[in-house]
């Protein structure tokens, strides 16, 4: 079953909010860099699109309106591209080696007494994000350093 674009964007936004922003994860997952870039794009690109539209029409006149609108649409689309990538990634099933790592972390967290969701048979990246967020929020730095 394929998702609609709005569902993917919504999943991407939720995934962006769930994924832990920890320096230990930057070298392991591209999510960290994509999330930083997407958050920046959400803040900057709407203003850049308006400025681009205004400046092109102001300097070149209304005959350049199609080009100005195309540039503005490109700048507006950048944050959505990041959210779409994150939404797709959130719903992607983990690789076999990542599933093993997910299960190891899950069992260690249960041994430490953490309240974690039930382990999934075929976990997705969004389940990994929840687990990692819980690990970084509830466990001490010594425990998390041994895993990352």
DSSP 32-63: HHHHHHHHHHHHHHHHHHHHHHHHHHHHH-GG
Digit-coded pLDDT (tens) for 23-37: 889 988 999 999 999
Long-range contact list for 70-78, CB < 8 A, 24+ apart? Answer: 73/49, 75/45, 75/46, 75/48, 75/49, 76/45, 76/46, 76/49, 78/41, 78/45
pLDDT at 143 over 90: no
Residue 73, pLDDT score: 96
How confident is the model at residue 134, as a pLDDT?
A: 87
Task: Please tell me the predicted confidence (pLDDT) of residue 88.
Answer: 97
pLDDT score at 63 = 94
**pTM of this structure:** 0.86
Q: What is the pLDDT of residue 115?
A: 78
Tell me: the pLDDT tens digits for 88-140? 999 999 999 999 999 998 888 888 877 778 888 899 999 999 999 988 887 76
Is 75's pLDDT higher than 80?
yes
Q: For the chain, what is the mean pLDDT?
A: 90
- The SS3 assignment for 120 reads coil
| 95: its two tokens | 């690789």
Q: Find the mean pLDDT for residues 41-57.
A: 96
Q: What is the pLDDT of residue 142?
A: 54
Give the tokens for residue 13. 């936004």
* Residues of the chain above pLDDT 90, percent: 70
Q: Which residues contact 51 (CB under 8 A, 6 or more apart)?
A: none
45 vs 135, which has greater pLDDT?
Answer: 45
């Amino acid at each position: 079953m394929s998702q609609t674009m709005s569902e993917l964007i919504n999943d991407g936004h939720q995934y962006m909010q769930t994924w832990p922003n920890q320096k230990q994860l930057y070298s392991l997952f591209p999510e960290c860099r994509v999330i930083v870039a997407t958050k920046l794009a959400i803040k900057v690109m709407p203003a850049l699109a308006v400025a681009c539209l205004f400046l092109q029409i102001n300097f070149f006149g209304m005959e350049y309106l199609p080009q100005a609108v195309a540039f503005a649409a490109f700048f507006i689309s950048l944050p959505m591209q990041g959210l779409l990538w994150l939404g797709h990634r959130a719903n992607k099933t983990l690789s076999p080696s990542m599933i093993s790592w997910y299960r190891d972390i899950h069992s260690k967290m249960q041994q430490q007494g953490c309240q974690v969701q039930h382990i999934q048979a075929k976990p997705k990246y969004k389940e990994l994000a929840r687990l990692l967020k819980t690990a970084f929020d509830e466990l001490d730095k010594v425990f998390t350093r041994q895993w990352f």
